[in-house]
Structure 1
């Protein structure tokens, strides 16, 4: 078993974790210093004296980059073994690390998450950050995870090449792993762990605003694309109606142009799927657009005429539901990237 600890400007808590692991286990410990600087060299030197392998980034690159440095080193220099990732800030109890390590199945493409319960006195920025990323993950995949930002995660050795291939350099990397897992044939197991926050969790380097935006950015871009396409559709409808007349044809012409614009923007900017074949993605996209249009009519008719809902809440509920469906289908099926690694159970 190998414990991988990414560390940026750590405290004595990192050495305490190392001591507890040495006392209770025979796990190998790999620490990646993510550009902490000379003032922290004494801590890393002490960790080396205690038997840890320590790798150094010359400058701070982010947690995702540090994890990938560790995964790459393990894959190239260590005997095949299971890997547990733990944070350096004292949030993970050594007994939970051991419990998670025991739950890893070396013969199964599965990641194991140590899921915090978020009960009691939990700092606001921790609750806020996890709520944002959990919402994003559910929107993108339809899967409910209680803790998408946990740093306590376990992987079998066979997943290391995939772990190194996933994009992301900072906190968004761990979210990307979850988003990519289903499409890559990797299952997720959740284990409850203790929630430990010492001194209001001041040891964490998670930035509530910047890092939450980076995690939420795909949905923000999708919202912007949808709003801009709606504006184009609305303006063109008015213009065609004034110039040509005939409401039906004006609606069709405006919708064709705005949908084409939306397709291009989503492919190039929202989902970064420039390499995805247009011949394959375009028919799927416009098929989805027709399906969404039909569903819009059917849902509105159901809410208003059958359930007798007022038109305003009916419209809001319909649009939220169809927005979620559209985003999920486009991300997972229409604009999925061709370079994802697909793993199959051994």
Structure 2
């Protein structure tokens, strides 16, 4: 354990923070470095941080105002990289007593057996887990699996062992609040950092009332890239369908050639808008040749869309515009995955 630094972000803590530090100091076999981040706590909580420093030898890093869990972890990482060159990584844990020291040790042991890996202490989500935590984790796990191919049972765990080399990369990862932990998983995938899960105890105290997670606001941040992509795609979709519908109204032919021509013209007009928004706002990617890769995807999608619109119109005689809406909606999810993973992926 002495090759790892414990990092504890904290906002307005209570006695459970001190109990956690007592547990660590009692059970440690060698002295463990502890970095405690005061993320803009009110003055009335200052005595907890003072006690942590004086009695339990914790290094206290302070934010003058609340900046978020992600920002707190990044502050600890900067200190760790600069001041602790002999350590192999950090392990982040929550300050409210949800993470047992024995589980921390087990996760670090897994890390020591798999150096360079990101180790997640994952919980089991039974009926005893508060609904908002269970629902939020299940939703993010499914979205992560669909759009990145990463299969993780607990995307929101705060117990993570992070290797030193990955720490440097995380300073460039987007997110200052709870969304940082989700973006960390995307970043691990992008940089080929192995992710290993280790089962830990599931502890929720008082229905998890101590959590500073703001259900609506922080959920929007966690799903921000998908939400921005959806809005961008919706506007592009309306442009696309509008132009396509105009051509279907103007021409009576419903041949594959006519549908393909109308689809290409409509998609070209909508793609100019869509590429600009996705490149600058949605994915914020710096990938080279993104425009050429993007338009290869556009061409592929147009042919696939045109084929299925023509085929379904021939076999069902449904309205072509209606069929196009259904087909393109299905292709929407395929497009999100390709753009995030291949086209706008930061190098």
| TM interval, short-chain normalised | 0.7 to 0.9
After superposition, the CA RMSD in angstroms is: 3.1
User: SS state of the match for residue 232, structure 2?
Assistant: helix
State the 1:230 CA deviation.
1.8
State the 1:122 CA deviation.
0.9
**Whole-Å Cα distance in 1 between the matches of residues 324 and 209 of structure 2?**
44
State the 1:238 CA deviation.
3.8
Runs of 4 or more, structure 1, over 3 Å off, are 105-108, 238-247, 249-252, 293-306, 314-321
State the 1:206 CA deviation.
0.8
Give 1:102's aligned residue: 109
Whether 2:120 is the aligned partner of 1:113: answer yes
Give 1:269's aligned residue: 281
Q: 1:257 aligns with which of 269, 281, 287?
A: 269
- Output one character per residue of 1:127-172: Cα deviation in whole Å (capped at 9) or x when no partner: 2322332233223311111111100000223332122222211011
**Closer, same or farther in 2 for the Cα pair 1:40/1:189, shift >3 Å?**
same
**Whole-Å Cα distance in 1 between the matches of residues 36 and 178 of structure 2?**
17
Whether 2:65 is the aligned partner of 1:59: answer yes
- Output one character per residue of 1:274-313: Cα deviation in whole Å (capped at 9) or x when no partner: x544xx122211211232344446778999999x9x99xx
Q: Which runs of 5+ in 2 are unaligned?
A: none
**Closer, same or farther in 2 for the Cα pair 1:318/1:131, shift >3 Å?**
farther
Aligned residues of 1:108 and 1:156 also touching (Cα < 8 A): yes
State the number of aligned residues.
333
Q: 1:230 aligns with which of 224, 227, 237?
A: 237
Matches within 5 A, 1:316-327: 322-327=331-336
Aligned residues of 1:113 and 1:150 also touching (Cα < 8 A): yes
Give 1:31's aligned residue: 36
**Whole-Å Cα distance in 2 between the matches of residues 241 and 336 of structure 1?**
36
Q: Which runs of 5+ in 1 are unaligned?
A: 339-346
Give 2:338's aligned residue: 329
**TM-score of the superposed pair, with normalisation by structure 2:** 0.86
User: SS state of the match for residue 62, structure 2?
Assistant: strand
**Closer, same or farther in 2 for the Cα pair 1:164/1:291, shift >3 Å?**
same
Give 1:220's aligned residue: 227
Aligned residues of 1:244 and 1:250 also touching (Cα < 8 A): no
**TM-score of the superposed pair, with normalisation by structure 1:** 0.86
> Higher relative contact order by CA 8 Å / sep ≥ 6: 1 or 2?
1
**Whole-Å Cα distance in 2 between the matches of residues 29 and 304 of structure 1?**
65
